[in-house]
Structure 1
């Protein structure tokens, strides 16, 4: 749209043509998207800060804490965060807690 705005005298005529071809985009949607590209969303900003804090807690505890313990530690430190958010960010960071114990197989499968 940015390339063709001058040729079509603005965004509104382009949106009308697109709407006629079953691609409905409101001008307000275009402007909101265009404005948003400059500034990151609040979630993105908060996620970046939380990722740093999660890494600090993870490293401080010998890289063994899982999502539940990291979530509890962050809340103890005064950072209000949901456990599902910690889980999601840990997945994005590619970190997992230590898995204790082993699964013991007593019978041979298919035998």
Structure 2
């Protein structure tokens, strides 16, 4: 929940849920809660997390960002 006086502390979560609704669940009818849960889980684990580029990490996907961080750690930067 947002704290009073700080409207941006929940911006990342709100952005994620907006994308989830727009790209995955809008206009979709799920027969069961389990079907919805599986569909959302698949979206998060198979697309959103590993592949989507994010503005808060230099427009890199999470996988690319982690690979870059590992290389930097090996070099000692």
TM-score by length of 1: 0.27
Structure with more relative contact order (C-alpha pairs < 8 Å, separation 6 or more): 1
Instruction: State the TM-score, normalized to the length of structure 2.
Output: 0.34
Larger proportion of helix? 2
Rg larger in 1 or in 2? Answer: 1
